[in-house]
Amino acid sequence: MSLFRYDAALLERYPQTRGAILHVHDLQGGASSPDLLELYSQEQTATLERIGDRPLSELPSIAAWRRCFSGFGVRPTQYRSAVEALLRRLTKQGDIPSINRLVDIGNLISIRHEMPVAVFDTRDLALPVTVRFSNGDECFTGLGEREAQQPAEGEVIFADTTDLVVARRWCWRQSAESAARADTAEALVTCEAQHADSFNTIEQALKELLDLLSRFAGGDANAAILDAGNSEL
């Protein structure tokens, strides 16, 4: 059974796309443990020290996502990739609050490797989730919002087989239906890159995601690194 895939037309336009994709079940959700919170705090401090006063736009991974967003007609300074938004909050406000253990693990890896990481609860999704260009008639309800919207035609989206949009503008905003919750037991986790020579970083991020999930959330994982030559989990 297919769980996650990149559409061929998308990969033709963005052949540098690479993603570490995990399908994890039998997870233990809930609040982060003290040990995980300590690791998360330490990572935030280390990230602030590493970036210093350097503009986020100069980070190769962020610059690559900005080019990607511009490529499908989105102003990257108006709609920032999830990782840029996360790092922007950290550098401007000094910390990123804990949400729950699954989100915290994703955010920890995201700021460490400067790549967007998303955790999608699969209970309300009709798998597989496909990263593709929007037709303009799909349905999206943003996290924290009540009214549904339709993405722009040609926008890159994550969508299930019912045309439910799981994420808009590729890695900008996640849907309410797919948000990781306290009782999330099964999830798709994605860590993606657009910058050159990203394979080693993606590979390391995947190893660390598997380790943190095993240590702090349990579960069994099926994982793969996807790209233009291997586009489906």
In Å, how far are 87, 135, 172, 190, 200 from 82, measured between CA atoms?
9, 23, 5, 12, 21
Query: Residues 6 or more apart from 97 whose CB is under 8 A from it?
Result: none
pLDDT tens string for the chain (233 positions)?
Answer: 799 999 999 999 999 999 999 999 999 989 999 999 999 999 999 999 999 999 999 999 999 999 999 999 999 999 999 999 999 999 999 999 999 999 999 999 999 999 999 999 999 999 999 999 999 999 999 888 888 899 999 999 999 999 999 999 999 999 999 999 999 999 999 999 999 999 999 999 999 999 999 999 998 999 999 999 999 99
Residue indicated by tokens 């330490």: 42
Which pLDDT score, from 0 to 100, does residue 145 have?
Answer: 83
3-state secondary structure 12-30: HHCCCCEEEEEEEEEECCC
CB atoms within 10 A of CB 98: 15
Question: Domain boundaries in the chain?
Answer: 4-226
Residue indicated by tokens 């009782």: 183
Which pLDDT score, from 0 to 100, does residue 105 have?
Answer: 98
Peptide linkage before 34 cis (omega within 30 of 0) = no
Which pLDDT score, from 0 to 100, does residue 131 have?
Answer: 98
Q: How far apart are CA 224 and CA 86, in angstroms?
A: 25
Q: How far apart are CA 208 and CA 36, in angstroms?
A: 13
Q: Which CATH class is domain 4-226?
A: alpha beta
Q: Whole-prediction pTM value?
A: 0.96
**Type of residue at 106:** G
Which pLDDT score, from 0 to 100, does residue 143 have?
Answer: 84
Q: Which long-range contacts (CB under 8 A, 24 or more apart) does 151-157 make?
A: 152/73, 154/72, 154/73, 155/72, 155/73, 155/74, 156/10, 156/68, 156/72, 156/131, 156/132, 157/131, 157/132, 157/133
Which pLDDT score, from 0 to 100, does residue 46 have?
Answer: 98
